[in-house]
Amino acid sequence: MTQNPGKFIVIEGLEGAGKSSAITLVHDFIEKHTGMAPVCTREPGGTPLAEKIRDLVKNAEPGDPLCDEAECLLFYAARAQLVANVIKPSLASGRWVLGDRHNLSSIAYQGGGRGLMSLVKTISDATLGGFKPDLTLYLDIDPLLGLERAARRGALDRIEQQEIDFFHRARATFLAQARDDRTIVVIDASKPLNEVHKDILACLGTAL
Ligand code: Z5A
């Protein structure tokens, strides 16, 4: 007897969009819907090796700034590990997977933000070969509001310290991707939290 594959659901958004509480909400929805808690992942990270890569990309190395191309390759190295060792095996065993970010982040930040779209497409095709989430909820927020929320939470990391235009380009890319792909649903994350959560549940109710 073959096992039904699980589904891969991803939450995306600029910093401060509210991914953390959305993940808790979607986690509980999936648990109720399937009778089993999903496997939760975060990117970059989610395996011992990928967590080491997370440290490399999040923290600046004094005297040896990470160049844009190396940053992009590191995100894909972490993702390749996670897909091969966690996401695909979990889906194949029938488990659902809930991701805090996935490939759309690289398309938005490295492709749109850094202007490396051609490199992103090449590595994405080479490492993922068309593998993608069943559903992505993109929590859309103006970068200024998102960064203001993130700053209230504590010190900003290396990427959060980029100039604001970087985040505007990333946001425009998130939205452009959503226009072209029906598996990406845009949620207005500037609304009060209870309304954002209502919109997420409504979307899950129709999509799953
Ligand atoms: N990155 C990349 O460049 N390329 C890639 O391929 C990948 C990632 C995978 C990961 O950092 C960084 O790597 C990220 C993108 C880049 N960097 N940037 N910049 P991370 O995983 O540490 O950080 P994050 O993913 O951006 O998470 P975050 O900053 O924690 O964002 P969040 O989870 O969306 O924020 P939050 O903690 O849920 O909310 C922030 C605060 O706002 C919090 O106090 C909430 O209570 C509050 N909040 C949330 N929603 C609301 C509403 N609706 N109203 C009022 N207040 C709210």
Q: Tell me the pTM.
A: 0.95
Q: Domain residue spans in the chain?
A: 8-207
With a 6 Å cutoff on the Cβ, whether 192 touches ligand 1 is yes
Of 103, 119, 104, which is closest to residue 68 (Cα–Cα)?
119
d(CA 115, CA 109): 9
Structure tokens at 161: 């310290």
Question: How far from 185 is each of 27, 80, 81, CA to CA, in Å?
Answer: 17, 24, 26
Please tell us whether the domain made up of 8-207 is placed in CATH 3.40.50.300. yes
What residues pair up with 97 in beta bridges, in sequence order? 8, 39
Helix axes 68-82, 117-128, angle to 10 degrees: 20
Angle, vertex CA 106, rays to CA 142 and CA 54, nearest 5: 100
**Centre of ligand 1 from the C-alpha of residue 3, in Å:** 34
With a 6 Å cutoff on the Cβ, whether 109 touches ligand 1 is yes
pLDDT in tens, 97-119: 999 999 999 999 999 999 999 99
Mean pLDDT of the chain: 95
What integer pLDDT is reported at residue 1 of this predicted model? Answer: 45
Buried b (16+ CB within 10 A) or exposed e, 17-51: bbbeebbebbbebbeeeeeeebbbbbbbbbbeebe
Strand 8-13 to 39-42 pairing: unpaired
Contacts of 63 (CB under 8 A, 6+ apart): none
With a 6 Å cutoff on the Cβ, whether 71 touches ligand 1 is no
Residue 74 predicted with pLDDT over 70: yes
